[in-house]
Structure 1
């Protein structure tokens, strides 16, 4: 995991992007949390996305085995320190399934897109879309980067309109 800077073609703006994969082991994820905290101190508008392998709260997991509260607390503490929060998300509520039988099937929201306040100020209309998982056990995420600045359009007037009886 590293910080990348990407230039948007449409607006020519540079954005900071971090793609992550959180390991299944909570102790190994602690190193990820430390790295995110370190990066958060060096960047302005920032988007972090990927498979974190942990949920943010109990209702983000459904199935026979409940999530570990300590893992949730560690994840949320990291996000609070980094000033990261979930980007507005549409699509599937759960982004991962173990695809097992009905008695042991588990669903969870492990994949997410996080942004900091500087990102939201720059791109307030941006959102994430959780797509169908297909063959994978994870749902792909698609991000729409948009600002709320209106598009300037040229006003046109056709003189012939004045001759129309309903004008």
Structure 2
């Protein structure tokens, strides 16, 4: 994460996705080094957990960055998690936990134990995401040794204790690759988002996207948190309209553009009306993207 190429890769993700919160795992950086990265990226807030070891033996390291538009209350953290309360005036408080699962085979059960322990902390609406280093089903792995059913049982028990549902995804099936060619290549879905029912009820329509692979052996993944604008709320100040490519990942976005295009017969009028509708139709396109959270493992 400390290399110029890794920082550039992260900067490109932030520029294209415009997230309000970013959870980073396997940073391999110390606290003060992550603070320097935050400044280079021009973000306002960060909580960093030191990596272990020195030099080429460094491993682990976590960071949570957030914008001033989000109110964050830190509740706990360790080498394998960061847990916070997200406070919003219009939506009330809810919880986000970033997880970095224990990578060692002999410690896989510790990831499940951590999740179960965290489940006892609060009954708030809860979103949880990260690199769990565990698989749920056999189709989440391609290549390598066979599927480990014992690890899947650990994961399922933890999900049940937390009352989690997998939020699914749009994009490529796997989030990690060993970057080897031919028969030696292994790919797995190690990174994901979970939520409990109260969080899903609060943010219906939220969706997860697997982005294009950058510097890391992991794909960055992003959740677009869909929040409906409250009836009778004050109309926001008009801003210059810019079409965002990320809207195309939302089901129904194409229909919004087509519907407006066919309202007029003149091409120039259609272009103006379509842009105007996308600007004013916040409820159809951009309301579901008020909050975005990126999970990334960029070494």
Provide TM-score, normalisation by structure 1: 0.82
Q: Deviations over 1:13-48 (max 9, x none)?
A: 322000011122244232232221122232321011
1:141 equivalent in structure 2: 221
1:50 equivalent in structure 2: 130
Residue 60 (structure 1) aligned with residue 178 (structure 2): no
1:69–1:88: structure 2 CA closer, same or farther, 3 Å change rule?
Answer: closer
Deviates more, 1:86-95 or 1:96-105: 86-95
Q: What root-mean-square deviation, in Å, do the aligned CA atoms of Structure 1 and Structure 2 show?
A: 2.1
1:121–1:12: structure 2 CA closer, same or farther, 3 Å change rule?
Answer: closer
What runs of 5+ residues in structure 2 fail to find an aligned partner?
Answer: 1-80, 236-299
1:36 equivalent in structure 2: 115
Deviates more, 1:28-37 or 1:88-97: 28-37
2:17 equivalent in structure 1: none
Residues 61, 107 of structure 1: 8 Å contact kept: yes
2:103 equivalent in structure 1: 24
1:89–1:150: structure 2 CA closer, same or farther, 3 Å change rule?
Answer: farther
Q: Deviations over 1:74-120 (max 9, x none)?
A: 11111112111111311221111111011110111000001111111
Provide TM-score, normalisation by structure 2: 0.47
1:6–1:110: structure 2 CA closer, same or farther, 3 Å change rule?
Answer: same
Task: Give the number of aligned pairs.
Answer: 153
What runs of 5+ residues in structure 1 fail to find an aligned partner?
Answer: 155-167
Structure 1 CA distance, aligned partners of 2:197 and 2:105?
A: 27
2:33 equivalent in structure 1: none
Deviates more, 1:39-48 or 1:68-77: 39-48
